[in-house]
Structure 1
Amino acid sequence: MNRPKITVVGSGNVGATVAHYLALKELGDIVITDIVEGVPQGKALDLQEAAPIEGYDSLITGANSYEETAGSDVVVITAGIARKPGMSRDDLTDTNVKVIRSVVKEVAKYSPNAHLVLVTNPSDVMAQVAYKESGFAPEKIIGLGGVLDAARFRTFLALELGVSFEDVTAFVLGGHGDDMVPLTRYSFVSGIPVETLLDKATLDRIVQRTRQGGAEIVNYLKTGSAYYAPGASIVQMVEAIIKDKRRIMPCSAYTRGEYGVSDIFLGVPVMLGKNGVEKIYEIELTAEEKAALHKSADGVRRVLSQL
């Protein structure tokens, strides 16, 4: 059977969780690759042995080289070091840039037609590094950020309102960091604006918790970072590409003047389909929202300038 082929680079908590969700959704055959001998093979076999119980037919293999990943349709890159308490995503930059350059060089060699989903933090910066290293069209490179940040925003809004999580929609723009821009004006509960349901002080508190959502989990875990919500967010993005769903979601995409920002990857509303980022939507922003977005973009540029 000619199924899509999806590679997950990195067999840690995020990579293994992504592979699990991919298998449950039967989005394709899966290769987990990692430099640590035995770990990707063991996790792949464990997931494969769950197939008769969960009822999926995806073939799952583990590897320590990139030959087995050849011809992948989508490559999800999770490799790199994770945050510890007190660290920002930007603190990971120097180490993770070296990792991403090495990984992307191999991926481009064996899967020159793949879409790349960058998860490694800081993900906007890593998407930029992948773009430069791979030579791929920028539309085929997407950074994680907005989908995960919006999921956290939606979660906190739903908890505050006591409503179903699936009835809350929200947008978070900007870099995947402390300067992200959760947009309360574009957040709704079954079409009802959240600004009519919650007062400004409550919304401001939820916005701040969203910005610190990753750090909150890191502070609990002590020795690692989040993986269930990131994994689900990544798979939603992969599904949109594999199934050509043309989903509208906030992702880190290469900008060409949208919102007054150019030549960097930044979280913006995109249409995600078989061609990757098929369109960037420019929604109307207030002067305050636009200033916040530009501040976030400046933060991404600042990290890039240090490379």
Structure 2
Amino acid sequence: MISAKLLRVLAPKIARRYSSECAKDGFTVTVIGAAGGVGQPLSLLLKLNPAISELRLHDLVDVPGVTADLSHVETSCKMVFFTGTDHSEAICGADVVVVPAGVPRKPGMSRSDLFTTNAQVVYDFAVVMAKTNPGAIAIIITNPVNSVVPVVCEVLQKAGKLDPRKILGCSTLDSVRANVFLGEATNTDPKNAYVPVVGGHSGPTIIPLWSRSNPKLCLTNKKLASLTKRVQEAGTQVVKAKEGKGSATLSTAYAASRLTYCVLRAMKGETNIVESCYVASDIYPGLKYLATPLLLGKNGVEKNLGLGTINDEEKKLFCGAVEELQKDIKTGEEFVKSKNVK
């Protein structure tokens, strides 16, 4: 258990790093899938954010207990819960909706297996969002991100309610991992490390741009390739290490909270906030969605900063990822078509 004393220490540190001083009227944030392995630690981290005045938790089961538990954390954020299959009340009126709902990856599970279940979860969410609150910023954590973000956008598009600036696929965990590994390689505090990450959010589609890292990496191409592989396979490493008892829940929750904090800061008017996310994109021909560094603003994505300058090795990796991304995107689009959404 986390003691009250420890929470008093953690809350201001987290707030100082990812959140500016908040106004009296804070934001309303909803977590869909709040009782799950990612949802619970994510909700705790969001409860510590002083920019959030109301935190709404939704899940099919167990969410009353999670809400009661978090209500004892000594911050002024109001806790509200919603349960059952209908999450319209939880979404209606929220400024930001964060979606970690769905099943986690298990050993031996393919991305297609994961998609079969989670696509329906995200589809149902998008239908409700289109009807009740299409103006909210949605942060999609549910995997496979490469395919389910297109599901959300296609549903909203068919309903005539899509604002692509506001649908963010959370590929932030790839950035977090790259920063950690860069810190280890350069003996630098990871919070002072930065690596742009582009592509997508699965295996070979994850492309850390070491050529633009800060601090700079002075490694051979072979060692850089090994480091890239480590980022790409980090999720699998966690799944194996947990021996079938879970996936990367804690680091995912941390990464999602970091992105949410940054989104809220930008919504309040803070400038020069850049995060890499998987979004609807016209940056690269033939790819409707792509993860790139984004300048965040009051309405979500203010400017897509694109791929930027990349070296020959990174170009090869990116070109190799294009076909995989196209397949993933098509999978999401075809799923929505099969639903005959009008």
Normalised to the residue count of structure 2, the TM-score between the two structures is: 0.80
Partners of 2:130 and 2:68 lie apart in 1 by 26
**What is the one-letter code of the residue matched to 1:184?**
W
- Give the counterpart of 1:212 among 233, 240, 249: 233
Percent identity over paired residues: 27
- Give the counterpart of 1:6 among 29, 38, 47: 29
- Give the counterpart of 1:268 among 264, 288, 292: 292
Q: Kindly indicate whether residue 123 of structure 2 is the aligned counterpart of residue 98 of structure 1.
A: no
Q: Which has the higher strand share?
A: 1
What RMSD over aligned residues (CA atoms) do the two structures have, in Å?
Answer: 1.8
* Secondary structure in structure 1 of the residue aligned to 2:228: helix
Structure 2: 5+ residue runs without aligned partners? 1-23, 336-342
Partners of 1:87 and 1:152 lie apart in 2 by 22
1:142-165 deviations in whole A, cap 9, x for unaligned? 0011x2101111212222333312
Equivalent residue number for residue 241 of structure 1: 263
Contact 1:240 1:273 in 2 (8 A): no
- Give the counterpart of 2:181 among 135, 138, 156: 156
Equivalent residue number for residue 42 of structure 1: 65
Deviation at 1:242, TM superposition (A): 1.6
Partners of 1:301 and 1:252 lie apart in 2 by 13
Contact 1:101 1:133 in 2 (8 A): yes
Contact 2:209 2:310 in 1 (8 A): no
Equivalent residue number for residue 207 of structure 2: 181
Q: Kindly indicate whether residue 191 of structure 2 is the aligned counterpart of residue 169 of structure 1.
A: no
Structure 1: 5+ residue runs without aligned partners? none
Cα distance change, pair 77–297 in 1 and its aligned pair in 2 (3 A): farther
Higher alpha-carbon deviation: 115-124 or 200-209: 200-209
1:278-297 deviations in whole A, cap 9, x for unaligned? 11113022344234223323
Partners of 1:30 and 1:108 lie apart in 2 by 21
Q: How many residues align?
A: 293
Equivalent residue number for residue 140 of structure 2: 118
Contact 2:30 2:90 in 1 (8 A): no
Partners of 2:262 and 2:286 lie apart in 1 by 25
1:140-197 deviations in whole A, cap 9, x for unaligned? 100011x2101111212222333312221111111101111111101122xxx11x2x
Cα distance change, pair 205–118 in 1 and its aligned pair in 2 (3 A): same
Equivalent residue number for residue 144 of structure 1: 170
Partners of 1:163 and 1:287 lie apart in 2 by 26
Normalised to the residue count of structure 1, the TM-score between the two structures is: 0.89
Partners of 2:107 and 2:132 lie apart in 1 by 37
